[in-house]
Structure 1
Amino acid sequence: METTNKLKDINEVLEFLYQEFPQCFKQKEGIQPLKVGIFKDIAERIEGSEKVSKTQVRQALRKYTSNWRYLEAVTKSEFRIDLDGNQGEKVEQEHIDHAQKALEESRAKMAKRKKQQRPRQDSDAKSFKKKPAHAAKNSPAAAKPAKAAAPKRSGKVEPLPAGEVKVNNKVKVKLGQALVNAVITEVNKDDVHVELVTGMQVKTKADSLYII
């Protein structure tokens, strides 16, 4: 019995998109913001494909649109493109602001990880040698209370009614402490898939959706 050559690795799925839609998906140079709703277009084009599933495409899109090069393209490009590379809708300022914020947060996390990876044993040892135990205990730094967490902002947002959890409805989705505009692309029992303004695909729950 003949077996299908199903792709498994997410990078292989991305390679599939590069080959199938070369005017749209780029590896490095020429990256442009994707049309809002492009997942639906891809799903229609690959209908019946034995190589990739819609779930894999969604995962690949999430990786592609969270890449620094893509986020930079959103902040610098005037228009989005469709699967054939045709110019589409204009990139709205809201989308630019969101991409810029995501880019800054991603770079900050990367810098923090690198800082945490640096060995600190030597510096700690030198610090203990310079300061006697009683001095360290009574130092202002030791007595200084922990910095209080910044108060959370409270805004008036209304949860999305259950009857409005429908494909193509525009909503706000909660990501961490932020509310981001998105479009519902799929509803699968308790899981709701949305497409953010940057083009990123995210799986969430209905209780994380709010009226736009």
Structure 2
Amino acid sequence: MTEVQNEVQTTETQTTENVKLTNNKDIITYLAEKFPLCFSLEGEAKPLKIGLFQDLAEALKDDECVSKTQLRHALRQYTSNWRYLHGCRLGAERVDLQGNPAGILEQEHADHAAQQLAEAKAKFAEKRAAEKAAKATQKKRPARKANTHKAEGNKPARKPKTQPELTALDFSSLVKGANVKVKAGENAQKAVVLDVLKESARVQLENGLVINVTADRLFA
């Protein structure tokens, strides 16, 4: 290996080592690499020595990868993990950074760990139940009803036409050229008298049609 390659490798190693870790998961992974007999990433975790944080802070005081504050946060997360709480049973042996025996777990600490584990599992179960209920509610929602107007082509209901009031006509006084109304069924149309006959009249409707109508169908 050349001198240049040695310098490059040294620079890369220093750069890697100087990366500041801020994520708890990354810090725990880092601790498991540096102290494998104390920290673990899989399986049941070993109970840690009381006051281990001080030993850890002292051991990593010159380590630029992790700050004391971040180290405290990561250690708190590690000791609240289900794996760790499962291992905190009465009589279990605590370990120091090198994995050496550092005291036996007492009843008080075992009970506390069991309580934390039960609370954590209860919260998890409650969260899962809420998610399941939300999904069930979403599935039961009825389909939206089709808009009545859209189903009918957005056609508004037709309003009945209001017919003008018809006034009785005195047929005896009817003269040629008079304006009258002619009733045909339910409708009435305007017309002009063209000729007056004995019991009927010859009229021209607005549309130009000329017809004979009886007196009872003529109105003023």
TM-score w.r.t. the length of structure 2 is 0.53
Q: Distance in 1 between matches of 2:32 and 2:90?
A: 22
Q: String of CA shifts for 1:58-96, please: whole Å, max 9, x gaps.
A: 111111111101000002652111111001111000111
Identity of aligned residues (%): 41
**Which structure has the greater CA radius of gyration?**
2
* Structure 2 residue identity aligned to 1:59: H
- The residue that corresponds to 1:120 in the other structure is 136
The within-5 A match list for 1:23-102 is 23-29=37-43, 31-75=45-89, 78-102=92-116
Q: Relative to structure 1, is the Cα distance of residues 84 and 125 closer, same or farther in structure 2, using a 3 angstrom cutoff?
A: same
Q: How far apart are 1:6 and its partner, in Å?
A: 1.3
* Structure 2 residue identity aligned to 1:51: C
Show structure 2 runs of 5+ residues with no match. 1-13, 143-220
Q: What RMSD over aligned residues (CA atoms) do the two structures have, in Å?
A: 2.1
- State the 4+ residue runs in structure 1 displaced beyond 4 angstroms: 122-126
Q: How far apart are 1:123 and its partner, in Å?
A: 8.0
Q: Distance in 1 between matches of 2:139 and 2:62?
A: 60
* Structure 2 residue identity aligned to 1:102: Q
Q: String of CA shifts for 1:130-156, please: whole Å, max 9, x gaps.
A: xxxxxxxxxxxxxxxxxxxxxxxxxxx
Show structure 1 runs of 5+ residues with no match. 127-212
Q: Relative to structure 1, is the Cα distance of residues 112 and 48 closer, same or farther in structure 2, using a 3 angstrom cutoff?
A: same
- The residue that corresponds to 1:104 in the other structure is 118
Q: Distance in 2 between matches of 1:122 and 1:113?
A: 17
- The residue that corresponds to 2:23 in the other structure is 9
* Structure 1 residue identity aligned to 2:113: A
- SS of the aligned residue for 1:75 comes to coil
8 Å CA contact 1:32–1:77 kept in 2: the answer is no
Q: String of CA shifts for 1:146-168, please: whole Å, max 9, x gaps.
A: xxxxxxxxxxxxxxxxxxxxxxx
Q: Distance in 2 between matches of 1:66 and 1:59?
A: 11
8 Å CA contact 1:79–1:91 kept in 2: the answer is yes
Alignment length (residue pairs): 125
- The residue that corresponds to 2:3 in the other structure is none
- SS of the aligned residue for 2:94 comes to strand
Q: String of CA shifts for 1:4-56, please: whole Å, max 9, x gaps.
A: 32112221111110011111001113521000100000000001211101111
Higher relative contact order (CA 8 A, sep 6+): 1
- The residue that corresponds to 1:140 in the other structure is none
Q: Relative to structure 1, is the Cα distance of residues 77 and 123 closer, same or farther in structure 2, using a 3 angstrom cutoff?
A: farther
